[in-house]
Amino acid sequence: MKELFGTTYNSTDYTDENVLYKSGLIDEVTLSRGLTYLWGKDSEMFPLLSLTEGQGGIASIKPKSLNDTQYSWSVMGRMKHIDAVVGLANTSNTKPGLGFTSFEVDFSTDWFKRYYSLTTPDKEHQLRIQGNPTQLSNGKYRYRLVLIGGDPTEYVTLGNFTAGQNWVLGTPSVSASKSDGTSSNSMVPGKWTNQFGYSRFSKKISGNIANKVTNIEFDLEGGGTTKMWMPFEMKLFEIDRRLMLEEDLWNSKYNRDAYGKITLRDDENNELVSKGAGIKETLYTTGQYDTYGVLGLTKLDNIITRIFSNRVDDTPMEIVIYGGSGAQRAFNQAIKTNALNSSYYDKLGVEEIMSGKDGWLSYGKYFNQYKTIDGHIITFKKANIFDKGLYAELDRSNGNMYDGLPYESYNMIFLDHSRNNNGERNIQLVAEKGAEIMTGVYKGLTNLPESWGAMNTGKLLSSTKDEASYEVKTSQGITMLNYTTSFFLKFVR
């Protein structure tokens, strides 16, 4: 045990009558999912759990196959209209297209179709595809093109043929008579895959702790007070359990290799241990990611524009930026700096300096919303998980601090909570059907506390020892139906 600032921390396996924490008045625990919403609402410590599990927004789904932990969902993106150029077929041609002569260009795929038009990367030239492409021995495709226009001196500048540059498809053009038909591309929904992770938490007790009282009086959630210890102990257990589950939704790492094999095994039973990708890894690996040291409004604008440009349907978008006190400061400062650079001195001063009580002035009105020139409104939501969660605790202990706050506090996660055309929330907490949350008591000779609920019945013993254990096992994963409308902006120093 270790005592720090008047609080004694217990790292032993059992809580007994010799280990009682010193604390102030705290509500009695009720073991239910409703507490996730209650505690999340009060402390803003569990934003993802509060917006999903706490409000009944949990999807129970079956894995892809028996004894597997993976789940998948269908996605539909925007139609593709571009392809990457490989280069000119004839590299000695320095003025391709001059005098309306046709020339050949190699592309990565056969995505472009005959008779359609193409626009060059510099947007200066339009060309018609003459006939179907020919597949080359290296797997690329060769197209014959001719310039569209009336200037015989026009030719395509060579920079447009740099390998990797994308050309874009345009409307097909045919003759007024005797024309032949062309073809078109199509798309079907794809699938994304994640997997459940399983967590198990245990609270072990021994002796007669269930009936022990303290010299501290605790308020009960439904009114009245109690001096019983276990209601308070179980609330600490539940808060800590939810804290770890919340962090897991943000920070978990997907643990299948490139061949689809899980890389982690339990060293006691040799069974596979699965972990799914959390919010951060999902956004990082899909390219919805950037870093900042000092946030400028231009970067904020660019991220917001990118997010809204990726939405293809017409349902209202609900974009929330999550972050800690540091992110809140950076968000406010980015807008304020832009306002000051635009010479909005007087108006800002009037808004920020207010007349307070008894003639005193108070200073402190801050920006928590930003409206773009396109009319999109983005709201910043402070989440204490970034200030006081496990990663923030890690930053503090290692000295990773900036202006008195952990680096984690400055991270910003742009999440799209909108509903799609089917009424489904974009971000969902998912759990394995039938294994969402399982609780049980391993009962020995010791008395069980009332806070262990309906399981505190019967005399059947599962151990001869004077001990008991409260067990909780959960399955959970996080799903973003459309990840392109969310973003991870990481703070770096």
344 pLDDT exceeds 60?
no
Average pLDDT over residues 388-416: 91
Q: Please, what sign has the CA dihedral across residues 431, 433, 437, 441? A: negative
In this predicted model, what pLDDT tens digit does every residue of 183-239 receive, in sequence order? 666 554 556 677 767 788 788 877 777 777 777 776 554 456 777 777 777 777 777
- CB burial string 147-181: b at 16+ within 10 A, e below: bbeeeeebbbeeebbeeebebebbebeeeeeeeee
In the chain, the amino acid numbered 234 is M
User: Are the C-beta atoms of residues 129 and 115 closer than 8 Å to each other?
Assistant: yes
* 118-157 pLDDT tens trace: 999 999 898 999 989 999 999 999 999 999 988 889 999 9
- Measured between alpha carbons, how far is 359 from 438 in angstroms, rounded to an integer? 58
Pairing status of strand 103-107 against strand 7-9: unpaired
Mean pLDDT on 350-374:
47
Closest C-alpha among 93, 200, 97, 206 to residue 151: 97
pLDDT band at 457; cut points 50, 70, 90:
low
The arithmetic mean of pLDDT across residues 31-35, rounded, is 36
Query: What are 167-184's pLDDT values in tens digits?
Result: 998 888 776 666 676 666
Q: Please indicate whether residue 447 or residue 96 has the higher confidence score (pLDDT).
A: 96
Give the 3-state secondary structure of residue 42.
Answer: helix
At 126, list the tokens: 């339009």
Q: Which residues pair with 60 in a beta bridge?
A: 431
CATH for 82-172 is: 2.40.30
- Report which residue type is found at 118: L
Return the domain boundaries, the chain: 1-78+191-493, 82-172
Cβ atoms < 10 Å from Cβ of 431: 21
Tell me, what's the pLDDT at 462? Answer: 67
Query: CA-CA distance, 367 to 175, in Å (whole number)?
Result: 59
* Average pLDDT in the chain: 74
CA-based Rg of the chain, rounded to a whole angstrom?
A: 30
The pLDDT tens digits of the residues spanning 47-72 come to 777 665 544 445 555 554 445 677 66
Q: Token pair for residue 52?
A: 């999903």
| CB-CB contact of 304 with 376 (8 Å) | yes
**3-class DSSP state for residue 73?**
strand
pLDDT beyond 70 at 252: yes
d(CA 195, CA 479): 10
Question: What's the rounded mean pLDDT across residues 298-302?
Answer: 85
Residue, of 19 and 483, whose pLDDT is higher: 483
Query: Which pLDDT score is estimated for 366?
Result: 45
Contact 152, 100 (CB under 8 A): yes
CA dist list (Å): 483 to 76, 200, 446 = 11, 29, 50
Instruction: Identify residue 86 by its one-letter amino acid code.
Output: V
One-letter amino acid of 37: Y
Greater confidence (207 vs 35) lies with 207
Element (H, E) at 337: helix 325-341
